[in-house]
Structure 1
Amino acid sequence: MKAEVNIFWFRRDLRLHDNAALFYALKEGKPVVPVFIFDRNILGQLEDKADRRVAFIHAAIVELHQQLLALGSTLEVFYGFPDQIFKGLADSYQIEKVFANRDYEPCAKRRDGDIANILQEKKISFHTFKDQVIFEKNEIVKDNNSPYTVFTPYSRRWKDKLNNFFLSSYPTEKFFKNFFIQPPNQIPSLESMGFRGVNYSFPSKELKDEIIKKYGETRDFPGVENGTSRLGVHLRFGTVSIREIARLAKGLNDTYLNELIWREFYQMILWHFPKVGEGHAFRPEFEKIEWRNNEEEFTKWCAGMTGFPIVDAGMRELNATGFMHNRVRMVVASFLTKHLLIDWRWGEAYFAQKLLDYELASNNGGWQWAAGSGCDAAPFFRIFNPHLQTTKFDKDLAYIKKWVPELNELTYPMPMVDHDFARKRALEVFGKALR
């Protein structure tokens, strides 16, 4: 006889503590089987078999599994296609409900729609909850219920609406006794899924008060050690709670809180304007730009061999670590789209391959901001001068020397383009397309 259970499906919420959908699943009282799926639809697209993100997720899953074993339960981990996995689960258990936290990316929405249909055919209900953001969908809109497309008024209303209710944690621990008790399951190894481990120390998920307090003073200087929180990857995969981070930021530093709001702003844009997540400019007129798209120049940019030290330092940091300082992200994006006139989508795709904290909404929003094609974007005629950016934010060259040690050697390349020439060319090309 099949056990009567509910299923909780881990996705972008790899923690037991303060987890919205997990709370509601456990609170039902029926035994909860926790499940995670290494989705072959996603993993199959990854060319790098030493992908740091897969290794990060695997490490987080191992940690979750250990926590569940201590509670007498286990994490059922699968490598496969979600539709097939759920059909198999329905054969193994008498399932009443499946619980999950919402994901706002176009592919995830299609996946969840497909799963909901499969479950409905089997008389199983599918319940999703808000967890990875403070406000979602239509919760922050204008008086006429249309979405904001400019950050400042959005952030103002976001803060006006914020109260303790939205920042309260979900007390999942109260109901841990409701996890389904069963013998331990085996977790698929990275190797069994065609991936390799990485020799890399992931950023800590501990948020230090001192970093947040000084964030406004230190965040723009890539050479400052611990000048930013490095929590991006943990927010991306939900190994920390956004409610706890926002509570702390609200009390300590408005500048840090604003960065969390930017993240939610871009999530909201992706929800209301899904075209941006599928390769389209937010502003249609930017589709007219005649990009040069020189593949040789793009290769040099990717490798950090442009002859512009701050650009090269950023790209080398990204290639070596999967991280790039946010100030430098803006500089390298501006350089690619304005100095080299290479389509922002090329840069967006490269970041999507390399960033440990890659998140579609924020990555797309950042690239379209730099190119001028996005909502609340930098105007097309704003072109970062790499030399001035270095003078302002890395004047002692601490960051540059770390990543470009051959800076003063003959082996370091000459600048691949003259800044003044590139600026003039960009203004002409953008101006022609947008007039």
Structure 2
Amino acid sequence: MCGSRLIVRKGNATEILETLSEEYNVKRIICSHSFDPKLELQDESLSRRLETKGIKFDRLNTCLLSPPNHVRTKTGDPYRVFTPFYRALVAGGYTERQIEPNQTVNWRPPVKWPETEPISALGLDHTTTASGRNWAESFDIWTPGEAGALKRLAHFIENGLKYYADYRDRTDMEATSKLSAHLRFGEISPHRVLKAIYEAQFHHPSLTVHADKLRSELVWREFSYGLLDQQPKLHQENFKAGFDGIKWRNNTKEFRAWQSGTTGYSLVDAGMRELWQTGIMHNRVRMITASFLIKHLLIDWRWGENWFWDCLVDADPASNPASWQWVAGSGADAAPYFRIFNPITQAETFDPKALYRRKFIPGFQPGSHSQKSKHASAGLFDEVETDLNTHPIVDHTFARERALEAFDNRHK
């Protein structure tokens, strides 16, 4: 947009920036905060190093409505419960900010552009991922970049917002925004999304309930970054230490069945296959698959969080672990640990005509909670021949009682 170019270099970031700054007489570097604790520490070190060279290093907040834990309780403590945090953000006007019109910036390009390496030099292929999957393939629903993000937003405002509050949990309907990956990578800001919401609501007041629900989802993302700021190891440690005593089973065979979508519970399996095939998963199904791993199989939530981190296009360092801990009951504003989703009734409620399950489980026949497929492939591990006419790997009632006992005995 400003006539700039992407320069790709591989090596020590500080040394590369110093070299480029000296070569092109750079006096100011502008970037965005990531609010990832590890990256923030690196940026602080980089800032101090550059300042000794006379280079100003400006980090701006472009990805959140408010810096993590900037809004606090009356006693000055960070919020640990979502609803009061949401109310405080609304009261503070953070959900009403309008962005300024685009301004033309006349950047003066260099006479000679710096040399750049090809993207392939970074080694971002399937050999670098935990799953062994090349994640540059099969994501035809995404159009990366600002133009793709704005197009997605416009499509949702026009076609999906009017259904959002009522049908966002329905797996068989297109009622979600699909903006999460664009937000994750800074291709669109939450301020831009808010502006579009308010404009739609202004012209169509009947959209208010749906607009409010979407705003609350944006604020959940804010809340998650607040938790990450309070607990920088959110992906590794229970937010509530009282859950450290849970005795996990961690059965690797059952974990593999969950990964590959061969548990025998159709909605769980459809969700895990959607994840593998597309890099996303319906928001309702994320909760159901996470609950199944944690409660039905008693497998450590960190195993699931790591798998989602590797597979999800929109996985970020705050929302991913915060949501997993919410399901596990170990998070700050968590679902009660005794809430255990029934994957059978969840399928009947949120995929009543089995449209979602048929889409991701070829040959699926409604009326049975196990897969009825003519295909022997496990979907995830294509080289593994798997009989999909299987019964559920664990009985729901038995699993529920086992989980309640394990969670109740976590202090013993």
Bucket of the pairwise TM-score, normalised by the shorter protein: 0.7 to 0.9
Deviation larger for 320-329 or 187-196: 187-196
1:136 to 52, 55, 67: 67
Deviation larger for 94-103 or 389-398: 94-103
Read off the aligned partner of 2:396 and give its amino acid letter: H
C-alpha distance in structure 2 between counterparts of 1:357 and 1:221, whole Å = 20
Matched, 1:79 2:10: yes
Partner of 1:168: 98
Q: Over residues 340-371 of structure 1, what are the superposed CA-to-partner deviations in whole Å (9 max), with x where a residue is unaligned?
A: 00000000000000000111100011100010
Q: Over residues 388-424 of structure 1, what are the superposed CA-to-partner deviations in whole Å (9 max), with x where a residue is unaligned?
A: 1011101111101111124324733210000000000
Give the match's secondary structure for 1:360.
coil
C-alpha distance in structure 2 between counterparts of 1:260 and 1:179, whole Å = 36
Q: Over residues 191-238 of structure 1, what are the superposed CA-to-partner deviations in whole Å (9 max), with x where a residue is unaligned?
A: 3322455243243422132312211122101111x2111111100011
Partner of 2:219: 261
CA distance 1:96–1:183, shift in 2 (3 Å): closer
Give the match's secondary structure for 2:30.
strand
- Alpha-carbon distance, 1:167 to partner: 2.1
2:109 to 177, 180, 191: 180
1:201 to 140, 143, 148: 140
Does the 8 Å contact 2:139/2:279 carry over to 1?
A: no
Partner of 1:400: 357
CA distance 1:180–1:230, shift in 2 (3 Å): same
Does the 8 Å contact 2:65/2:94 carry over to 1?
A: no
Does the 8 Å contact 2:224/2:318 carry over to 1?
A: yes
More strand by percentage: 1
Partner of 2:49: 118
C-alpha distance in structure 1 between counterparts of 2:102 and 2:12, whole Å = 28
Q: Over residues 130-172 of structure 1, what are the superposed CA-to-partner deviations in whole Å (9 max), with x where a residue is unaligned?
A: 11011113432101111111111111111111268x6232555
Matched, 1:236 2:184: yes
More helix by percentage: 1
Alignment of 1:76-115 (within 5 A): 76-115=7-46
Deviation larger for 237-246 or 185-194: 185-194
- Alpha-carbon distance, 1:127 to partner: 1.6
Read off the aligned partner of 1:248 and give its amino acid letter: A
Partner of 1:192: 121
C-alpha distance in structure 1 between counterparts of 2:117 and 2:101, whole Å = 30
Read off the aligned partner of 2:86 and give its amino acid letter: S
Partner of 2:324: 367
CA distance 1:312–1:163, shift in 2 (3 Å): closer
- Alpha-carbon distance, 1:339 to partner: 0.3
Give the match's secondary structure for 2:15.
helix
Give the match's secondary structure for 1:260.
helix
C-alpha distance in structure 1 between counterparts of 2:108 and 2:310, whole Å = 36
Extract unaligned runs of 5+ from structure 1: 1-66
- Alpha-carbon distance, 1:379 to partner: 0.8
Matched, 1:127 2:66: no
Matched, 1:423 2:381: no
Read off the aligned partner of 1:238 and give its amino acid letter: G
Matched, 1:411 2:408: no
Q: Over residues 293-348 of structure 1, what are the superposed CA-to-partner deviations in whole Å (9 max), with x where a residue is unaligned?
A: 11111011000010010000000000111000000000000000000000000000
Matched, 1:289 2:238: no
Give the match's secondary structure for 1:433.
coil
Give the match's secondary structure for 2:8.
strand
Partner of 1:276: 234
Give the match's secondary structure for 1:128.
strand
Does the 8 Å contact 2:326/2:334 carry over to 1?
A: yes
- Alpha-carbon distance, 1:187 to partner: 5.3
**Sequence identity of aligned pairs in percent?**
37
Give the match's secondary structure for 2:9.
strand
Does the 8 Å contact 2:268/2:289 carry over to 1?
A: yes
Extract unaligned runs of 5+ from structure 2: 126-135, 143-147, 202-206, 364-370, 374-386
Does the 8 Å contact 1:83/1:114 carry over to 2?
A: no
CA distance 1:126–1:161, shift in 2 (3 Å): same
Read off the aligned partner of 1:299 and give its amino acid letter: R
Does the 8 Å contact 1:167/1:244 carry over to 2?
A: no
TM-score normalised by length of structure 1: 0.79
Does the 8 Å contact 2:98/2:194 carry over to 1?
A: no
Alignment of 1:53-72 (within 5 A): 67-68=1-2, 71=3
Deviation larger for 178-187 or 213-222: 178-187
RMSD: 2.0
TM-score normalised by length of structure 2: 0.83
Partner of 2:165: 216
